[in-house]
Amino acid sequence: MSKTVAEIVVDTLVDAGARRCWGIVGDTINHFTDAVRQSDLRWIHVRHEEAGAMAAGGEAYMTGELAVCAGTCGPGSLHFVNGIFESHRNGAPLVLIASDVARTEVGLRFPQEVDQRKVYEQTSVFCEYISHPDQARRIVALAAQAAINKRGVAVVIVNGDMFTEKSDDKLHWAVHRPSPVMRPCDAELAELAKVLNEAGTVTIYAGIGARRAHDEVVKLAETLQAPVVHTTRAKEFIEPDNPYNVGMTGIIGNRAGMEAIDAADIMLCLGTDFAWTQFYPEGKRVVQIDRDPAHLGRRAPVALGLAGDVGDTIAALLPALTPRQDRGHLDKALKMWEEDKEGYAKSGEGRDPALIHPQTVTQMLDRLAAPDALFTADGGSPMVWLLRHLTANGQRRFLTSLLHGTMANAYPQAMGLAAAYPQRQVIALCGDGGMTMLMGDLLTLVQEKLPVKLLIFNNGSLGFVEMEQRVEGLLDAFTGLKNPDFAQLASVCGLASWKVENADDLEAAMTSWLAADGPALLDVKVNRVELVMPPKITAGEVASTALFGLKAVMNGRGSEVVSLLRDNFLK
């Protein structure tokens, strides 16, 4: 019995493990959505396709399974672009069904015609048209296979009239999920062992590529008596139950992580392609292990670059290593890490209840949230507060926009998490700028019954940008936000809501907010001039900030300089 292309596409996606499709219905995908209606695939109707792509990407990233989004020709498919870039860079196995105008109109500048291939080739692991009905299952299976195994977005482009074509669909194209052992050859492993055995001190720098190798990384650290520094994306995987953990490096890192790398003879990079080259050690030898050979030496010169899976490589390497006894380098880093954590805890202490520090809010959330809660955070300062003040315990999961660096990712990604994990607490840490960028999908939370808990750090500004401008010695400009009453807005949309302007009211409101049935919003007015302090402040940064202070005073904004000093340096 023949099937339509729409039916074949949906059937293949379901066979590949997809459970949900995010999008907005219309014209060129009407036959596709009708096939979804008659299948086990759940359609989730968003209000903006960008939010749909981020939600699907959040679902796919967190579950490791295939998620789907679909859009109409022209504007519909193009609205997905930013969310697709975000999801692809996060390594989310996602398939986008991007429809196009009817084949009879292609190339004739028909309304809404767009060359989807040119748009999406730069942000996908697979991008192909279904050019004949008999290709439908094969193309979609290959797309799903590429998305799952290469961990990225796969795009299938379908002309609207193609969905109605029929095929006998005689051949069944399965989606394969191989699990190869990947490690360097014996000679390369011997060379790596020699370098590590002869090194005076070693610091391990573990990234997202070590996500499945927690125990192996800990065993390697024990053998080498090496502190373990982790990237921001690897926090949830490397930090828990790791007695060798000393935090992060980078602009939002901590002193222990930064100095553990600076002080080491060897920086051993495991599954990380950390982009900020100024945080690699000058004059030190870098050894890098990564599954993708193209990543080796891309950020900094490396003395030795090896291709392999982190877990497989460590397992093969350990028998060739000589266990170390000297803990001097490790103990120094661990002591500094304890001091860093004490500093983080103190940063949440406030003297004036009317001035709520965002660190206070996040530390309270860390205490009150469920042990297995799922967290997302908007790019900018909410991301910093998550990474510094939420505890990774092996059950909690975190998702932030660390590679694409977009605004407005937190609650759309949280929608995907809530759909995939309906029994777990899902919390989105939102900036007021991020929230107001895609507010329309507050309605999706209610309509689709997605019980996301939204926490708004309401500082009336694009706070991270404001800080960047000031640190560069500029007067901050165009960063102020005139916000609505978020609690009232949420209530009108059908969400339970709370508003807090005094620290004395925060715990009761947060407790009620977390306990609420369904989606809920907590709007907290936080300090506008809170700085994100780097692990090490340079003379140039001091001079630039001082230059901002001088300019601010000369422009009648002296009170802001007083607030900046009082709230960040005199606490």
Residues 11 and 126 in one domain: yes
Residues 282 and 200 in one domain: yes
Residues 423 and 560 in one domain: yes
Domain boundary among 339, 360, 379: 339
* pLDDT value of position 561: 43
**In terms of residues, how long is the chain?**
571
Residues 379 and 275 in one domain: no
Closest CA to 36 of 65, 13, 61, 3: 13
Mean pLDDT by 10 residues, the chain (571 residues): 96 98 96 98 98 98 98 94 97 97 84 91 96 97 98 97 95 91 97 97 97 98 98 96 96 93 96 87 88 93 95 98 97 97 89 90 98 96 95 97 94 98 98 95 98 96 74 77 95 98 97 98 91 60 46 51 49 49
Q: Within a domain: residue 548?
A: yes
* pLDDT value of position 550: 44
Residues 371 and 312 in one domain: no
Residues 157 and 193 in one domain: no
Residues 331 and 352 in one domain: no
Residues 481 and 460 in one domain: yes
* pLDDT value of position 534: 64
Tell me the CATH number at 301. Answer: 3.40.50.1220
Q: Within a domain: residue 175?
A: no
Residues 380 and 512 in one domain: yes
Closest CA to 246 of 341, 177, 180: 341
* pLDDT value of position 539: 47
Tell me the CATH number at 379. Answer: 3.40.50.970
Contacts 24+ apart (CB under 8 A), 389-395: 389/344, 389/348, 389/359, 389/362, 389/363, 390/362, 390/365, 390/366, 391/366, 392/235, 392/236, 392/239, 392/240, 393/240, 394/240, 394/241, 395/371
Residues 155 and 235 in one domain: no
> Which contiguous run of DSSP H or E holds residue 430?
strand 426-431
Contact 242, 268 (CB under 8 A): no
Q: Within a domain: residue 177?
A: no
Q: Residue 375's beta-bridge partner residues?
A: 398, 427
Domain region containing 204: 186-339
Residue that the structure tokens 């996606």 belong to? 13
